[in-house]
Structures are given as C-alpha cells and as structure tokens.
A = this chain, B = another copy of it.
Amino acid sequence: MTAARGRTSRPTSRAVSRPTGRPPLTEERKAEIRLEIARAAVELFVTQGVAATTGEQIGAAVGVSSRTVWRYFPSKESCVRPLFSAGIDRIADSLRRWGPGRPLDGIFDSERADEDGPLAGPDRATVGALVRLTRTEPGLRAIWLQTYDEAEPAFARALAERAGLPADDLRPTIQAAMFNAALRAAVEHYALHTADTHPDRTTAQTELTETLRVALEVAAEGVG
C-alpha cells in the first residue's frame, strides 16, 4: 500500500504544548490518503460498476482494511467526492476572492480557468468519466448533486454580501441556486458531449472554458 501506512508528516506549527505521543496525521496527509482511496474507488466503479465493488476491494486496492475506508468516508459512493469537489472548491474560492460590484463573468479568465477551473488537474479525464457514470449510477449521481448542493450556502452568502442583503434573503438564495445549477449543468454537458471528442488536453480545456463562459452568460441573462 502506497497510501495509508504510517508516515506522519511534521505538523508545521506547534499547538500549545501538545502532550507526548505519536503525532496525529496532518490535514494534508489525510487529504492525500482520501484522494488515494478516491482514485482507487473510481477505478473500480468505472470498470466493475458501483454495486459490484465492495468496500473490501476498495481498501485492498490501497492496502488498507475496509474498516479504514469507512473511517475516511461515510459511505461507498462518497469515496468519489474528493474528485468531484476539487473543481467546485476552485470556483468557490474564485467567487470568494471576487470583489463586490464586478460582473460575475470575469471569474474564470482572470483566475486562469485553463489550470484552475473545474475538471482541471491530473484527474481531468477520470472526473469526466465519473460524471458520465453519474447517468447510470444513481448512487454516484446523488454524491454529484450533493457536492454542488453543499457549495450553495457559500455562494448565497457571497451574493447577499455583494447586494448588501441579509444572508438568508430570498433573492440571493435563489440566485446562488441558479448560479450553482448553471455551472453544474455546464460541466455535465461538457463531460457528456465534448469531452472525449478532444483527446488533446489544451483543446479540451479551451472547450471547457468556453462552455463555462456560456454558463455564466446564461446565468446573467436569465431564462427568458
């Protein structure tokens, strides 16, 4: 197992006089392990299907017992979440850093969408396949939706702040849901229609950026 065995990294900042003993895993290390389990799970889900893969198999693929898998993830399907949430987290960060008064449609190009957008990173192709799997695997679909759903309150807060409204106001709440849904639909559309037609990475990324640009445009226009 390349993953979960031992190997505590040094915590950078000393907490105020921690008692002696084995130092706990850093959050970074935990995230690494989670990601390793996630990749193994996706590999199995794609090749065998979700129902046919057991927690035991997922653990074995990383050299870990099933019990440990459940310590890192609350359910079998949720093992894919780190792959899903990476892209959304980048968008949420972009939105958070975005100042008030500026139009939303500047988010991606200013933030180097080619590298930082959703579906970026080393798992681009994997996540694409995973999103496609969402169509046939209801359990994965649920995780996919849940991942976006959990980002929604943060969007709502940001939009409410920009508009100078209370955080639980109806309008920014609805706008956040719409913004979120537009992004999700765009990523899905990309994964389903244009992903595998462009094996070349840069072309594919350009397509994705264009798709997201349309999403922001439609979000700004509204549904007529």
A residues with a Cβ closer than 8 A to B are 103-104, 138, 141-142, 145-146, 149, 159, 168, 170-171, 173-182, 184-186, 188-189, 193, 211, 214-215, 218-224
- Report the bound CA distance from A170 to B175 in whole Å: 20
A173: chain B residues within 8 A (beta carbon): 185, 188-189
Of the residues B171, B177, B185, contact of A174 by C-beta under 8 Å = B185
- A168 — which chain B residues lie within 8 A by C-beta? 189, 193
Checking B145, B174, B186, B220 against A149 with a beta-carbon cut-off of 8 angstroms, the contacting residue is B145
Contact B177–A182 (Cβ < 8 Å): yes
User: B residues within 8 A CB of A219?
Assistant: 174, 178, 222-223
Q: Residues of B contacting A142 with CB < 8 Å?
A: 142, 145-146
**Which secondary structure characterizes the binding site on chain A?**
helix
User: In the complex the two chains form, what is the Cα distance from A202 to B136 in whole Å?
Assistant: 42
The number of times this chain is found in the oligomer is: 2
A-B interface, 8 closest residue pairs, ranked by CB to CB distance from nearest: A222-B222, A181-B181, A177-B185, A177-B181, A175-B223, A178-B178, A142-B142, A145-B145
A115 to nearest B CB, angstroms?
Answer: 23
- Considering the chains assembled together, what is the distance between the CA atoms of A222 and B141 in angstroms? 26
18 contacts between A and B (CB under 8 A): A104-B223, A104-B224, A138-B146, A141-B149, A142-B145, A145-B146, A171-B214, A173-B188, A174-B182, A174-B214, A174-B218, A175-B223, A177-B185, A178-B218, A178-B223, A220-B222, A220-B224, A221-B222
**A160: shortest Cβ distance to chain B, in Å?**
12
Q: How far is the CB of A78 from chain B (nearest CB, A)?
A: 10
